[in-house]
Amino acid sequence: MNRLISSAAVAATFLSCLPSPAFAHMTLEHKEANIGSSYMAVLNVPHGCGDAATTALRVQIPEGFHSVKPMPHAGWELKTVTGTYAHTYKNHGSEVTEGVVEVSWSGGHLPDAHFDQFTLRGTFADTFSDGDIVYFPAVQECENGESLIWVATADDSEGDPAPQVTLRTAAGTDEHAGHGAHAGHDMTDEEMVGHSYPVTLGDLEIRGGFARATLPAAPVGGGYITIVNNGSGDDTLIAAASDVAGEVQLHNMTVENDIMKMFEMEDGIPLLAGETVTLAPGGMHLMFMQLNQPLVEGETVTVTLTFEQAGTVDVVLDIGGIGASGAMDHSSHGDMTSGEHNHG
């Protein structure tokens, strides 16, 4: 029987607001997640309160979803509340006893006629069981003073349904546990034989992903993918994130007079309709900054890509050797994010 994971105490606080009529539900974009793996919780906000615009969103972090990092939202003020977990969890081999327990975005203006998504990332503890349902209670505040209370679970009838995700045990977790624990990803049997198969997100097709192994003390690393835009509209890769790094930046490199220059693509990577964009050594690439563990050849690393139109998706990169002939070795960059380097 599935467990229903909720927090009565926080839900009771949320319910101090007046309940409102039921509308299309607030939901999570990704309906399932792997136990012991990172998860991008993308909350869909489909409407306001009647005709009133949404001006704030508060989300309770469920117990067992730890090491949470919310994504800033342009035009909104981001705040977090930290607290002590009921249990101790492991994150990359270190014990975690406290962290973010509530996230809020406020001060924005989302008209009722528009739709938006708010995102946070964390890891589901390995203490869950296959089929467990986890709820993310939320309160949506509107400019007319009304609130939508998304906190109800199957055993709690007050309020509207809370966004929920069903947890699954990834196939092959037990026999490949060492790889999953090290690279921050529980690998399935399919993933063990390579990750060149396409990952689709709307009109986008992502394939051929890989990363380069790094030396044990290297602070940075590089990742590469190919993205095909099969749609009729343009899109942009605007952000990337991974549990193995404090930050993942979108970089490009050019060579001028035998000097290689690297720079961050702050406006993202354009993906024109009908075209293919390849992130490869010596050109555009993903830059893993502030690595908290080395990238080990033969293992994998999970990266969450965020697109301006298509949304977010997790991709798994095989970790190859330190470098191919003629390609720049990211492990030699130190903590530099831009500048000039001798090439050749």
Q: Given this model, what pLDDT does residue 233 score?
A: 92
Q: Given this model, what pLDDT does residue 145 score?
A: 93
Which pair of structure tokens corresponds to residue 144? 């007319």
Residue 91's pLDDT band (cuts 50, 70, 90): confident
Q: Decide: pTM greater than 0.85.
A: no
Residue 154's pLDDT band (cuts 50, 70, 90): low
Residues 6+ apart with CB under 8 A from 295: 183, 211, 212, 213, 214, 221, 244, 288, 301, 319
Q: Given this model, what pLDDT does residue 157 score?
A: 53
Q: Do domains 4-168 and 193-339 have the same CATH topology?
A: yes
| Mean pLDDT of the region 109-129 | 91
Q: Given this model, what pLDDT does residue 170 score?
A: 62
pLDDT in tens, 11-54: 444 444 434 344 578 999 888 888 888 888 989 999 999 899 99
| Residue 314 to residues 6, 37, 200, Cα–Cα distance (Å) | 26, 11, 10
3-state secondary structure the chain: CCCEECCHHHHHHHCCCCCCCCCCCCEECCCEEECCCEEEEEEEECCCECCECEEEEEEECCCCEEEEEECCCCCCEEEEEEEEEEEEEEECCEEEEEEEEEEEEEEEEECCCCCEEEEEEEEECCCCCCCCEEECCEEEEECCCCEEEEEEECCECCCEECCEEEEECCCCCCCCHHHHHHHCCCCCHHHHCCCCCCEEECCEEEEEEEEECCCCCCCCEEEEEEEEECCCCCEEEEEEECCCEEEEEEEEEEEECCEEEEEECCCCEEECCCCEEECCCCCCEEEEEEECCCCCCCCEEEEEEEECCCEEEEEEEEEECCCCCCCCCHHHCCCCCCEEEECC
Q: For the domain bounded by 4-168, which CATH number is listed?
A: 2.60.40.2230
CA torsion angle 41 46 52 55 (round to 10): 20
Domain 193-339 has CATH 3.40.920.10: no
Total residues found in the chain within this entry? 344
Per DSSP bridges, beta strands 221-229 and 204-212 are antiparallel
Q: Given this model, what pLDDT does residue 218 score?
A: 85
pLDDT in tens, 228-271: 999 899 999 999 999 999 999 999 987 667 676 788 999 999 99
Q: Given this model, what pLDDT does residue 8 score?
A: 42
Per-residue pLDDT for 317 more than 70? yes
| Domain regions of the chain by residue span | 4-168, 193-339
Mean residue pLDDT of the chain comes to 78
